[in-house]
Amino acid sequence: MLIVGDAIGNDHVAFARPGWQANSDQDPELGAKTRVALMDRLAREQVPVIGFHLSQGGMGHVERAGDGYRYVPL
């Protein structure tokens, strides 16, 4: 299980569009690249996640969904 902390600010935009830059990132371009790489790895390796900003209990996993990803709560 990976505690994602603020790497994933919400389970809507960050999953559907991880490549979008966020104003909350100190380096928005690097933050977007990091989110894409993180989502890809979490989905590929099927790593369970836990995070304060995630809905429905904050525990789940990541799946690919079209051009982005989706959060699947446990």
Residue type, 50: I
Contact between residue 60 and residue 72 where contact means Cβ atoms under 8 Å apart: yes
Arithmetic mean of pLDDT, 29-58: 94
Q: Is residue 46 scored above 90 in pLDDT?
A: yes
Q: Where are the domains of the chain?
A: 2-73
d(CA 69, CA 50): 16
d(CA 34, CA 6): 12
Q: What is the pLDDT of residue 17?
A: 94
Mean pLDDT across the chain, nearest whole number?
Answer: 93
